[in-house]
């Protein structure tokens, strides 16, 4: 159990403010996410400076979040921003995941989970991505601040690592440490740690990270 907790990574997503990016980076999360989906409240914007991403501490890996974007554009932005990960949060196919992964970036494929989720849809993605990300199923693509029933993770039997997302809040630290699923690789925090969309509460993240770690 102790080993499991030590190896679980923390991703802070939805970053875009320059000062806030650097403040959060100094907390040493394992990954930091930047949303390149124009309809998101946390969209980085057309003029987002690549230096803001490239200047993140080298210990913090960077993640670009995309929703049903053209593959060529995703690849172009990966190179422009020197991203370490691509998170695909739409209806992207295994072929799309594979093409993006081929350029040397790690791929995290997101799925909206609900009580009757068909886990077999994941089978065709196992060889096309590095991680699954399980978020709450809503009409939008993430950032809802809502949890799904974590008990349903007991139905996940595939030997492939996943990231837990969807409404994780500061008060969930203890509950997260009690999850003992062998494939849980990390957690993704976002909207429940914000002062406003795209601006994180640094003190709240610091307390949460200390409790989880």
The pLDDT-based confidence of 87 (bands split at 50, 70, 90) is very high
Residue with tokens 């914000």: 194
Closest CA to 12 of 79, 57, 78: 57
Give me the CATH number covering residue 87: 3.20.20.70
The alpha helices in 87-212, defined as continuous H runs, are 94-101, 173-178, 202-212
∠114-118-119 over CA atoms, to 5°? Answer: 100
Q: Is the dihedral of CA 146, 151, 156, 160 positive or negative?
A: positive
Q: What's the domain range around 87? A: 2-212
Distance CA 146, CA 180 (A): 21
Distance CA 54, CA 19 (A): 14
**What's this model's pTM, rounded to 2 decimal places?**
0.92
Q: Is 120 helix (H, G, I), strand (E, B) or coil?
A: helix
Give the per-residue pLDDT at 163. 98
Residue 98, token pair as written in the block: 């594979």
Per-residue pLDDT tens digits for 119-174: 999 999 999 999 999 998 766 655 556 889 999 999 999 999 999 999 999 999 99
Distances (CA, A) of 60 to 83, 85, 124, 154: 11, 11, 30, 30
Q: How far is CA 154 from the centre of its chain?
A: 21
Secondary-structure percent of the chain, ordered helix, strand, coil, rounded to 5: 35, 25, 45
Give the per-residue pLDDT at 141. 57
Mean pLDDT of the chain: 92
Give how many domains the chain has, as a whole number: 1
Distance CA 135, CA 150 (A): 10
DSSP string, 17-40: -HHHHHHHHTT--SEEEEE--TTS
How much of the chain exceeds pLDDT 70, in percent?
93
The alpha helices in the chain, defined as continuous H runs, are 2-7, 18-25, 50-54, 71-81, 94-101, 173-178, 202-212
∠54-78-138 over CA atoms, to 5°? Answer: 105
Give the per-residue pLDDT at 145. 67
User: What average pLDDT does this structure show over 12-16?
Assistant: 97
The pLDDT-based confidence of 66 (bands split at 50, 70, 90) is very high
User: What average pLDDT does this structure show over 4-26?
Assistant: 88
Q: How far is CA 194 from the centre of its chain?
A: 16
Give the per-residue pLDDT at 4. 39
Q: Using an 8 Å Cβ cutoff, are 50 and 56 in contact?
A: no
């Amino acid at each position: 159990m102790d080993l499991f907790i030590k190896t679980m990574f923390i991703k802070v997503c939805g970053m875009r403010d320059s000062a806030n990016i650097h403040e959060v980076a100094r907390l040493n999360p394992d990954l930091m996410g930047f949303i390149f989906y124009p309809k998101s409240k946390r969209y980085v914007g057309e003029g987002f400076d690549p230096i803001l991403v490239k200047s993140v501490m080298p210990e913090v890996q960077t993640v670009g979040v995309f929703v049903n974007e053209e593959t060529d554009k995703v690849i172009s932005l990966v190179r422009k921003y020197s991203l370490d990960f691509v998170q695909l949060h739409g209806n992207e196919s295994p072929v799309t995941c594979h093409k993006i992964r081929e350029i040397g970036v790690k791929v995290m494929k997101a799925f909206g989970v609900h009580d009757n989720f068909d886990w077999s849809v994941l089978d065709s993605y196992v060889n096309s991505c590095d991680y699954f990300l399980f978020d709450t199923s809503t009409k939008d693509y993430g950032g809802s601040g809502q949890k799904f029933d974590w008990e349903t993770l007991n139905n996940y039997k595939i030997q492939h690592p996943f990231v837990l997302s969807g409404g994780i809040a500061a008060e969930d630290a203890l509950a997260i440490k009690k999850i003992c699923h062998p494939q849980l690789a990390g957690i993704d925090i976002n909207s429940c740690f914000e002062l406003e969309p795209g601006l994180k509460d640094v003190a709240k993240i610091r307390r949460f990270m200390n409790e989880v770690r």
